[in-house]
Amino acid sequence: VVDLGMPTRSVLTTCAYCGVGCSFKAELRGDELVRMVPYKDGGANEGHACVKGRFAFGYATHPDRVLKPMVREKITDPWREVEWDEAIATVARRMRALQDTYGTGAVGAITSSRCTNEEVYVVQKMVRAAFGNNNVDTCARVCHSPTGYGLKQTFGESAGTQDFRSVAEADVIMVIGANPTDGHPVFGSRMKRRLREGARLIVVDPRRIDLVRSPHIEADHHLQLRPSTNVAVVNAMAHVVVTEALVDRSFVAERCEGYEEWAAFVARPENSPEAVEPVTGVPADELRAAARLYAGAPNGAIYYGLGVTEHSQGSTMVMGMANLAMACGNIGRDGVGVNPLRGQNNVQGSCDMGSFPHELPGYRHVSDDAVRTVFEDLWGTALLPEPGLRIPNMFDAAIDGSFRGLFVHGEDIAQSDPNLKHVTAALEAMELVVVQDLFLNETAKFAHVFLPGASFLEKDGTFTNAERRINRVRAVMAPKAGKHEWQIVTEIATAMGYPMAYDHPSQIMDEIASVTPTFEGVSFALLDKLGSIQWPCNAEAPEGTPVMHIDEFVRGKGKFVVTSYVPTNERSTRRFPLVLTTGRILSQYNVGAQTRRTGNVAWHPEDVLELHPHDAEDRGITDGDLVTLASRVGRTTLRALVSDRMPTGVVYTTFHHPVTGANVVTTENSDWATNCPEYKVTAVQVALAPPG
């Protein structure tokens, strides 16, 4: 027999990078993963994939993986490898000791949108039932928490309205604060296919993203607004729709409430395109034409990203887009809607699973007695009706001395969160930091216990993508460190005196389904049968719901909300004359912990600072020069990329590399409703770095 080195078996699973949620066949030879083959029947990707999902899986077997639990007394001590029993007992004992000394609320946890629904569910359950408080928050706090808030207020459900397939029916596509060809490449390709077929395109973004001009595609309108002025732009578009009688009157009359007050507000002269042009920088004629194009389309669809949410008015903007869509009747059928492009693979799921300090699974407030009773009966313990601490509140309380212990589940907050000086001061102030992760990341530098996690190739469970699609993640290999992540969490809870035990993650999903109305019909058996399911999945929709709000909104009537524009507190000055905005690049992923440990790093070995030729010339900067980037809170050094993608006055960088660390300069300004950081607006100065 000739051995051709071919794979000998395959396992169907889901990409663990972005919120598109592509399905793959992981092909193995023995226990070695040979290649990832995009799955032709994948609900989200239909056989397509990008360079991350296809090639960037080598991190799972990278020698940097930590495979033994480790403990240390102080963060200046060397790590000591221990057995699992000792590590789990240490976490339980020290968490309880902190609670005995400082009170029940002195500890908490942060969940990860990289982990499965089942893992996130058990972390929030551990906090609520074993810690006895609501101090659990998700890393979605720093990306799409305004989506959850804004869509719940207006439509009644904290989720996007459409499935990806729906874009094929859109006549006008409006992309706001998103860069789908880099951030969500497989969906970006789907969108481009529709654009090449003739759909019209409006891009609202300070930067000239690829979609604005690419082979066979040219945006009809690129509204190149000043960072932080989204709300003024959407209100001005609404002004045109209302004052030029472009409103879908029958949709509004039958399906919505609050229209009259909202319409009177947007019709005010101060919301006209001409009045806001000096603020937004968008020519009034261009804005008027874009508004007419969107409102006049048979089907107009909005897709948006972190360029909407990561602002001091992130939640306001989400509601502003919802208002606009309702006014134009663009909800409740294929080709329309308001659709968040979620960053991480399981942002939607981590929010669905109740890892917010104010909400139990299914977005139900902890103060709701009836809801709490359901969980109290199932979990056999009393739950607190008061919301717990959000991530930024945990940091503030750590510095004040009242918050002493944190369990960080798969997130690198010492690289990803804003104003890192403040974050690291908070971590240093805590008496116990527990990190569960694959690598000794930046946050682990402040940890007292390190619990080795499992890569997606070792996980069994589900991820929920940006279109509410629950996909199965199937283990390709056993956990390299010897324990499933859900098992580690349940053993900590048990060691703290609250027994939690499951034999398999399918049992966790069964528990989720038993207490979460939108997941009522979901089970591993049904997922295996259907391939994937878009929630809500219940008696009314036994095979899931691709498009929401068809006959009525989840809240009954869609609610118009007055969305006044309030300028950010982050002001440019003579000392900090430029505005920094941040984003991602195709080959890399967020803090880069995974992609930097794969061949993809060759495509983007460092973060660079993009700036307009005029701003570069003013400062004597040429392409490739090292420059200092400084804000009111910090400074870093990176290489310049002179580019006319940027407008004058605005600079741009990514945050994939800890060495350059863009979040050293981002501030603590945040969304008024959710505390989502204002990553997209930082007043900065840029200068040639001193020699040497």
End-to-end CA distance of the chain: 61
Q: Which two tokens stand for residue 496?
A: 């703290």
Distances (CA, A) of 282 to 168, 219, 242, 309: 29, 15, 19, 20
CB of 438 to ligand SF4, least distance (A): 17
Residue 687: CB minimum distance to ligand SF4, A:
36
Residue number with CB closer to ligand SF4 (50 or 651)? 50
- Output 213-217 pairs: Cβ under 8 A, ≥24 positions apart: 214/181, 217/192
Q: Which of 12, 13, 21, 441 binds ligand SF4 (CB under 6 A)?
A: 21
Q: Rounded to whole angstroms, how far apart are CA atoms 371 and 384?
A: 12
Site for ligand SF4 in 121-160 (CB under 6 A): none
Candidate ranges 178-186, 361-369, 621-629, 638-646; the one touching ligand SF4 (CB under 6 A): 178-186
Closest approach of ligand SF4 to the CB of residue 52, in Å: 4
| Residue 18 binds ligand SF4 (CB under 6 A) | yes
Q: What is the 8-class DSSP label of residue 131?
A: I
DSSP annotation string for 298-329: SSEEEEE-HHHHSSTTHHHHHHHHHHHHHHTT
Query: What is the chain's percent helix, strand, coil content, to nearest 5?
Result: 35, 20, 45
- Helix/strand/coil (H/E/C) assignment for every residue in 487-533: HHHHHHHHHCCCCCCCCCHHHHHHHHHHHCHHHCCCCHHHHHHHCEE
Tell me the pairing of strands 626-630 and 532-534.
unpaired
Site string for ligand SF4, 527-546 (x = CB under 6 A): --------------------
How many Å apart are CA 535 and CA 522, to the nearest integer?
8
- Of the two residues 345 and 653, which places its CB atom closer to ligand SF4 in the complex? 345
Among 28, 33, 50, 247, binds ligand SF4 (CB under 6 A): 50
Give the residue closest to ligand SF4 by C-beta.
53
Report d(CA 213, CA 208) in Å as an integer. 8
Mind giving me the DSSP string for 360-371?
A: ETTTEETT-HHH
Stretch 404-423: interaction string toward ligand SF4, x if CB under 6 A: --------------------
Q: Which is nearer to ligand SF4, 506 or 595 (CB)?
A: 595
Distances (CA, A) of 152 to 157, 299, 311, 345, 613: 4, 23, 18, 21, 42
Q: Which helix (H) or strand (E) holds 579?
A: strand 578-583
List beta partners, residue 686.
Answer: 629
Query: From the list 12, 13, 15, 209, which residue makes contact with ligand SF4 (rule: CB under 6 A)?
Result: 15
3-state secondary structure of 657: coil
Query: Shortest Cβ distance from residue 350 to ligand SF4 (Å)?
Result: 16
**Stretch of 126-134, 182-190, 352-360, 508-516 contacting ligand SF4, by CB under 6 A:** 182-190
Q: Which of 169, 172, 275, 177 is nearest to 232 (CA)?
A: 275
Binding segment for ligand SF4 among 64-72, 184-192, 394-402, 643-651 (CB under 6 A)?
184-192
CB of 253 to ligand SF4, least distance (A): 40
Which residues are within 8 A (CB) of 635 and not within 5 positions of it... i.e. 6 or more apart?
628, 629, 664, 665
Q: Cβ(270)–Cβ(108) under 8 Å?
A: no
User: Of 15-23, 306-314, 351-359, 592-600, which segment contacts ligand SF4 by CB under 6 A?
Assistant: 15-23
- Rank residues 343 and 521 by Cβ distance to ligand SF4 and give the closer one: 343
Among candidate residues 435, 425, 431, 387, the one with its CA nearest the CA of residue 405: 431
Instruction: Take residue 431 and report the two structure tokens written for it.
Output: 């008496």
Beta bridge partners of residue 364, listed in sequence order = 360
Strand ranges in 224-274 using DSSP code E only, listed in sequence order: 256-257
Task: Return the structure tokens found at 640.
Answer: 């310049």
Minimal distance, residue 354 CB to ligand SF4, in Å: 24
Q: Give whichever of 52 and 255 is closer to ligand SF4, judged by the CB atom.
A: 52
User: What are the b/e assignments for 399-421, b being 16+ CB within 10 Å?
Assistant: eeeebbbbbbbbbbbbbbbbbbe
CB 406 within 8 A of CB 430: yes
Q: How far is the CB of 24 from ligand SF4 (least distance, A)?
A: 8
Q: Which stretch binds ligand SF4 (CB under 6 A): 50-58, 78-86, 621-629, 647-655?
A: 50-58
* Region of 48-56, 84-92, 172-180, 222-230 interacting with ligand SF4 (CB under 6 A): 48-56
With respect to ligand SF4, which residue has the nearer C-beta, 315 or 346?
346
Of the two residues 549 and 584, which places its CB atom closer to ligand SF4 in the complex? 584
Which CB, 419 or 600, lies closer to ligand SF4?
600
Which residue pairs, CB below 8 angstroms and at least 24 apart, start in 210-213? Answer: 210/179, 210/181, 210/182, 211/175, 211/179, 211/180, 211/181
Q: Which stretch in 183-191, 356-364, 594-602, 684-692 sits in contact with ligand SF4 by CB under 6 A?
A: 183-191
Among 52, 125, 422, 604, binds ligand SF4 (CB under 6 A): 52
Tokens of residue 157, six digits: 């459900």
For ligand SF4, give the closer residue by CB, 238 or 351.
351
**Least distance CB 15 / ligand SF4 (angstroms):** 3
Count interface residues toward ligand SF4 (CB under 6 A).
14
Name which position in 132, 180, 185, 392 contacts ligand SF4 (CB under 6 A).
Answer: 185
Nearer CB in complex with ligand SF4: 188/307: 188
Among 25, 28, 53, 405, binds ligand SF4 (CB under 6 A): 53
Give the nearer residue to ligand SF4 in terms of CB position, either 16 or 434. 16
**Residue from the set 28, 49, 240, 646 that interacts with ligand SF4 by CB under 6 A:** 49
Residue 22 touches ligand SF4, criterion: CB under 6 A: yes
Nearer to ligand SF4, 45 or 330 (CB): 45
Smallest distance, Å, CB 200 to ligand SF4?
24
Q: What are phi and psi of 360, to 5 degrees?
A: -85, 170
Q: In terms of CB distance, is 43 or 361 closer to ligand SF4? A: 43
Rounded least distance, CB 173 to ligand SF4, Å: 18
Between residues 154 and 534, which has the closer beta carbon with respect to ligand SF4?
534
Minimum gap (Å) between residue 42 Cβ and ligand SF4: 9
25 versus 226: smaller Cβ distance to ligand SF4: 25
Q: Position 371: which residue type?
A: V
Measured between alpha carbons, how far is 312 from 316 in angstroms, rounded to an integer?
A: 9
* CB nearer to ligand SF4: pick between 16 and 293: 16
* Token pair of 596 as six digits: 């930097």
Of 17 and 407, the one with the shorter C-beta distance to ligand SF4 is 17
Which span sits near ligand SF4 by CB under 6 A: 49-57, 245-253, 294-302, 649-657? 49-57
Give the nearest distance from C-beta 140 to ligand SF4 in angstroms.
17
Q: Which residues of 77-86 are buried (b: 16+ CB within 10 A; e: fewer)?
A: eebeebebee
The structure tokens 């020699």 sit at 691
Where does this chain bind ligand SF4 (CB under 6 A)?
15, 17-18, 20-22, 45, 49-50, 52-53, 184-186
